[in-house]
Amino acid sequence: MPEFTPRKLDCPVCRHGFESRLVTGFRIGEKEADFCPRYLDGNPLPEFLHVCPQCGFVGFEADFKAWDDAGRVERVRTLLNGFHWQQGQALLGAERFRRAALIGIYAGKRSAEVADLYLQATWCSRMEGEPDEEQKNARRKAVKYFELALAAEEFSTDDLPVVHYLVGELCRRLGEVKKALKYFARLDELDHVEPWLLEWRDRQKALLKE
Ligand SMILES: [Zn+2]
């Protein structure tokens, strides 16, 4: 099992204070081609997101601080009302990440952060054995927000090779062959692409030709 430490959090939307727990230890084996980690003793990802039992707000520890932007609080509250939250309701990992992504959009998070939340939703969806369609929906949204983040130049130059590989792989998994090839090909034009990434790219690209 992953290791945890208790932590008191205050909800930025409804101000409710509650006890949650922080993940303080876990072990990773290798990673899958879309960077989904293979955890050796249980998936800690859901626990990185905390859920306010009072209003259903979902976020990382860093999201649980007072927001001074009243408009943002109001936008997120309106979104949460639409979820028809029941006090103390439990959420599995994939659903936590999907909600956190949506909340992130309403709260004005950068597209790169939203993309990452949708990506992790696909990983949890797979580990939790949800129907394929759920994984695909989250994957499509991850691609959309990665593309918005690329267009907005949110990534550092150092991160561009990994991001292009990843978007290529997500498109491959969605059956979008042309788009996958386009992103994989970009690795030949970028600087400082690490050899392991080119190996992964070649391996995943070869799957497209079968
Ligand atoms: Zn709350």
Q: In this predicted model, what pLDDT tens digit does every residue of 119-134 receive, in sequence order?
A: 999 999 999 999 999 9
Token pair in block for residue 140? 């499509």
Ligand 1 centroid to residue 11 C-alpha, Å: 5
CA distance 184 to 169: 8
Residue 1 confidence (pLDDT): 75
* Residue pLDDT, tens place only, 13-39: 999 999 999 998 888 889 999 999 999
Ligand 1 centroid to residue 92 C-alpha, Å: 18
Residue 3 confidence (pLDDT): 85
Ligand 1 centroid to residue 123 C-alpha, Å: 26
